[in-house]
Structures are given as C-alpha cells and as structure tokens.
Amino acid sequence: MQTNLRGRDLITLQEWTKDEIGTLLDVAFTLKRDRALGQPHPYLRDRVLAMLFFFASTRTRASFEAGMAQLGGHAQFIESRSTQIAHGDTAKEIGEILGRYNDGIAIRHCDWGVGNTYLREVAQASRVPVLNMQCDVYHPHQALADLMTMIERFGDVRGRTATVSWACAASYQKPISVPQSLVLLLPRFGMNVRLVHPPEFALMPDIIEQAQHNAREAHAGFEIMHDFADGIRGTDVVYAKSWGAMQTTTDEAEGARLSAKYASWLTDDRHLALAGEDAVFMHPLPADRGVEVADSVLDGPRSAVYDQAENRLHGQKAVLALTMS
Ligand code: CP
C-alpha cells in the first residue's frame, strides 16, 4: 500500500500508480463503511477546500462539499462567473492566492482545449494539491467511483468486459472526459474494454494510444468497435453515455447534426438483453432520458447509477483525506 500521498495533485489517475489507486480504493471502502456505521472520521479538521467551478454541476459539487464536512473541514464554493476570474484573475494568480487561503483547490473547467491547461497552470502555481473535478480531457473522480461500483458488483473485476459506448444526446455536446478516463483506468485493473462509437465520435488519439498501452501491460483486451449492438453483446458492463464530436468538429450545431444521425444508439431493454446475464448498466448522470437511455433501463434492476453517484462521495473523501491531511 502506498501511503505517501500528501500534497499530491489529482488531475488524471494516469499519473498515479496502480498501487496508489489501490490505496484510494482501500480508504474509500473504509470511509464508506465508517459512514454506514455512523463512525466519525474527522481527518481534515480545520482544513478548507476551494471548489472552483467554470461549468455546472450537481453531483460533483454536492459530493465534494458533503465529503469535506464529513471529514471535519469546510468547502468553499467559488463560481468563475460571479468572481473576478471573469474579469481577468489568471490561473497563476488563482493558484498562488487560493493556495494560500486553502489546503486544497478543486476545479471544474470543461472548455475544450482550455480546461486541462488551466488546471495544470493553477497546479504549477499552487502550494496545495489541485484536484480535477472534470476538465476537457479527464474526469478522474468519476472513474474512481465507477471502478468502486464495478468492484462492489463483481468482486474481482479482472477478466470482466466493460463496454464504454457513445450514446445519442439531444441536449449539448458533452465532454469526452468520462470515456477517456474509463478507457485509461479499467484495463489497468485487468478489465477488457470495448470502446464503441460512430466514426465521428472518436476520442483523443494520444488517450487511445495510452489506453492500448495500459491494456497490453495488464494483459487485458482493448477493442474499438463501431456497432452499438455488437459492442453490447455478452458484455458485463454497459456504460453508455453521450459525448461530443470534438475530434471531428467543435461546431455545436454540426455536432448536434452528427449526433442525430445515430438516434438508434439508445440503451433500451432490447439492447440490454444482448449483454451478459449479470450485466449492469452504468451512467455518470445527468442522462438525456429517452434519448441516451430508456427510463426502464435507467430505473431498472440492472442500473447501478445511484451506487455510482454515491461512490463519488466515498472515493473523493479518500482522495481528500490522503492528499490534504
Ligand atoms: N457525473 C457528474 O460529474 O455529475 P455533475 O455534472 O452533476 O457533477
């Protein structure tokens, strides 16, 4: 077990070793058990986390804020639009200044081509850990909660197959950070990954290259497929969510037109029936109900979406306690 995690940034789990992620999982499950037993665990008394949002959130904000309170500390909510960040505070200034007020800085910045660079500039200037609450490239705390959920469902996940699939959406071009984080992380824990998407909805080439490398190292499978039904057939995890066509176009209207071509990429009971008999449906939420996924699947017995959302709390508390104590 790796215990020397104080002061570490978490921008992508790819920069953490498998042993270090194992420590996160171990502590997360312990904290989940402690909370279930009503056992106090104030590891961060008097510590403060700055939570800086450039983009909307329900689960991420609520779970980080609740987590800090349960660890005995405090989280301050800062929005870019209602602060001087909108009037020119630079990433370096934010890193320097919020780093002097706080014991950690968590940031959500999903703007394509901007978010990850911003986080890294803040981290460069900050004396305290910087935690990624989702950027344009990665969503590490979602992937951590998802891996926890798969371990809870299956026990040993090695040899299990996870289908990480694109799904149609009507709302907006969603970030590609969730599928990218999943295809990087799951093979490291021995899971076979099927990445399934229409040709226009590819992920970043360097992420794919790294995911293939991770799979080779772990002797796990990694396939890219372009047929939704084939991608689901016989799998253990149907993780089907929408993401934008950023590798093809950054134009919102063109992205929406491309998405509409694939309206049949909706997980309904007929599709789920193709999966393995103990397969689970996963989604980070929010979902476009009736477009990405049918209500009967999202609310059905195979859905793990509320466990995923709950595990955001426990996984993040592990990250906070280990990096900020
Ligand atoms: N899954 C997730 O990150 O949810 P929010 O966008 O509501 O934070």
Residue having the nearest C-alpha atom to atom 4 of ligand 1: 59
CB of 223 within 8 A of CB of 193? Answer: yes
- Give dist(CA 122, CA 177) in Å, integer: 19
pLDDT digits (tens, 9 = 90+) for 180-221: 999 999 999 999 999 999 999 999 999 999 999 999 999 999
CB of 230 within 8 A of CB of 255? Answer: no
Residue whose structure tokens are 């990096």: 323
Can you state the angle between helices 205-217 and 177-185, rounded to 10 degrees?
Answer: 20
Nearest CA among 142, 52, 49 for reference residue 89: 52
Residues in contact with 249: Cβ distance below 8 Å, sequence separation at least 6, in sequence order: 200, 255, 258
Has residue 171 got a pLDDT over 90?
no
Using omega within 30 degrees of 0 as the cis cutoff, is the peptide bond preceding 286 cis? yes
**Cα 70 to averaged position of ligand 1 atoms, centre (Å):** 20
Task: Identify the sign of the CA torsion 33, 34, 35, 37.
Answer: positive
Residue having the nearest C-alpha atom to atom 7 of ligand 1: 58
CATH numbers and ranges of domains, the chain: 13-139+310-324 (3.40.50.1370), 142-308 (3.40.50.1370)
pLDDT digits (tens, 9 = 90+) for 94-124: 999 999 999 999 999 999 999 999 999 999 9
**Cα 176 to averaged position of ligand 1 atoms, centre (Å):** 13
Q: Which of 51, 53, 54, 60 to mutate to test the pocket of ligand 1 (most atoms within 8 A of CB)?
A: 60
CB of 243 within 8 A of CB of 168? Answer: no
Taking CA atoms, 224 is separated from 22, 149, 165, 279, in Å, by 27, 23, 10, 20
Among the atoms of ligand 1, which is closest to the Cα of residue 108? 8
pLDDT digits (tens, 9 = 90+) for 277-295: 999 999 999 999 999 999 9
Pocket-forming residues, ligand 1, beta carbon under 6 Å: 57-60, 134, 142, 284-285
